[in-house]
């Protein structure tokens, strides 16, 4: 392909993604689903005409990581803290944590029965199928009630963070003994300290940088901090979530020393620009990530009846556990929250980060795509149903 052909293709993908976002607002069908189908369609065209391509799997994890950072950061910048939200934060944290653990445990038992692999391997492989994707959930709930939208933003962000911590813990330990949990506690303390120092440093820099190129530098430093944290096996997504919350609520901190050195007159104006930049950057990264993921899907896998059976059982487990928790423990409004548990970007990233020796036969990208597709469609129908109820009310 020529340079101009590549530019036409890239520009066309962005335009299609924008149109898909417009369609999503009216139909409640997540735009990422349309992007996935676009990627699958492009793969069929490339195969038919025998165009030359390269191995997109090499860049998929990098794109996905960037998208995850920007989407979680953007979502955190939407959250304004006040004391009245303490109950909501606790509620969503326990919802994300308990549902993640119980769902992972149930899928682990299922995979063990179906494949006869060890519980340890089944547990590791079950985690990517148990995490709510903030990359799909957050953009999809902009049209629902504020209380429910905040529930989804907090819950999906906590699910991402807890899922990464659980995944890192699982692959780093052959057995889950006292020593393993002690190391986990030390890791959490380190990441909290790292997050606190990073938040203060980044806010200080925002107030001191006078160059016209400012916000891309801040985002680059945030990505750098995330990458450093992850390279030491720390769950650095906590830093991204904490920084977004910290920035959007820094003006509420009344400590004189803090206000003197960290709060400056143009902070609120800068936050608006930073939020806009992170949102548009997330849009671009998300576009290319999901199109490329769709492009890499081997649709022949869907002829496998076993794969379909695995998928249906995992879906049944996922929604039954969520329904029971929201109804009897969280005592939340079920509609539409029970439907909003999509799998997506974070599941893909963790799946591709699984070492080959830890993967089990039968758990392939086709199964992952089936779960992502199904949970997104169920969420779409649930949101549409909730919208009709509001109109009729």
pLDDT digit string, tens, across residues 1-43: 688 988 999 999 999 999 998 888 777 778 888 898 999 999 9
Cα separation, 345 vs 147, whole angstroms: 24
More confident of the two residues 8 and 71: 8
The pTM assigned to this predicted structure is: 0.87
Q: What is the per-residue pLDDT across 348-391, written as a single tens digit (0 to 9) for each?
A: 889 988 888 889 887 888 899 899 989 988 998 898 887 666 65
pLDDT averaged over every residue in the chain: 88
The confidence score (pLDDT) of residue 38 equals 94
DSSP 3-state assignment of 210?
coil
Higher pLDDT, 362 or 276: 276
For residues 54 and 346, the answer to whether their CB atoms sit within 8 Å is no
Domain covering 3-392 in this structure, CATH number: 1.20.1530.20
Q: How confident is the model at residue 333 (pLDDT cuts 50, 70, 90)?
A: confident
CA distance 320 to 338: 9
pLDDT over 70 percentage in the chain? 98
- At 96, the pLDDT band (50, 70, 90 cuts) reads very high
Does the pLDDT at position 80 exceed 80?
no
Highest average pLDDT, of 92-106, 127-141, 232-246, 379-393, comes from: 92-106
Does the pLDDT value for residue 340 go beyond 90? yes
DSSP state of 331: -
Which of the four pLDDT bands, split at 50, 70 and 90, describes residue 71?
confident
- Residue 38 and residue 384 in contact, taking contact as beta carbons nearer than 8 Å: no
- Summarize the confidence of residues 156-181 as an average pLDDT: 88
In what helix (H) or strand (E) does residue 324 lie, and over which residues does it extend? Answer: helix 305-324
Distance CA 133, CA 67 (A): 12
Structure confidence at residue 391 (pLDDT):
54
**Structure tokens of 83?**
């004391």
- CA distance linking residue 358 with residue 379, whole number of Å: 31
């Amino acid at each position: 392909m020529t340079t101009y052909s590549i530019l036409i293709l890239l520009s066309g993908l962005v335009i299609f993604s924008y149109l898909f976002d417009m369609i999503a607002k009216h139909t409640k069908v997540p735009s990422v689903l349309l992007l996935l189908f676009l990627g699958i369609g492009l793969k069929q065209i490339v195969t038919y005409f025998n165009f030359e391509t390269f191995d997109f799997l090499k860049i998929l994890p990098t794109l996905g990581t960037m998208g995850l950072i920007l989407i979680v950061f953007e979502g955190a910048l939407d959250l304004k803290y006040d004391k009245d939200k303490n109950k909501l934060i606790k509620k969503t944290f326990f919802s994300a944590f308990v549902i993640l653990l119980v769902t992972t445990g149930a899928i682990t038992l299922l995979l063990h029965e179906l494949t006869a692999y060890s519980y340890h391997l089944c547990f590791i492989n079950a985690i990517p199928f148990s995490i709510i994707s903030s990359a799909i959930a957050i953009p999809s709930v902009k049209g629902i009630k504020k209380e429910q939208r905040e529930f989804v933003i907090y819950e999906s962000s906590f699910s991402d963070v807890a899922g990464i911590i659980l995944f890192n813990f699982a692959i780093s330990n052959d057995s889950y003994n006292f020593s393993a949990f002690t190391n986990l506690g030390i890791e959490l303390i380190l990441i909290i300290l790292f997050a606190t120092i990073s938040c203060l440093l980044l806010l200080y820099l925002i107030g001191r940088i006078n160059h016209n190129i400012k916000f891309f530098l801040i985002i680059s430093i945030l990505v750098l901090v995330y990458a450093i944290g992850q390279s030491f096996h720390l769950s650095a997504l906590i830093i991204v979530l904490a920084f977004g919350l910290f920035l959007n609520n820094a003006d509420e901190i009344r400590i004189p020393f803090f206000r003197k050195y960290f709060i400056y007159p143009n902070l609120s104006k800068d936050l608006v620009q930073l939020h806009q930049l992170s949102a548009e950057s997330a849009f671009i990264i998300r576009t290319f990530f999901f199109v490329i993921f769709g492009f890499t899907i081997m649709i022949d896998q869907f002829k496998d009846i076993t794969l379909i059976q695995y998928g249906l059982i995992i879906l049944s487990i996922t929604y039954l556990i969520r329904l029971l928790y929201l109804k009897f423990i969280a005592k939340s409004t079920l509609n539409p929250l029970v439907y909003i548990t999509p799998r997506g970007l974070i599941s893909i990233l963790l799946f591709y980060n699984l070492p080959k020796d830890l993967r089990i036969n039968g758990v392939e990208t086709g199964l992952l795509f089936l779960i992502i597709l199904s949970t997104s469609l169920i969420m779409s129908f649930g949101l549409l149903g909730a919208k009709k109820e509001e109109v009729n009310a």
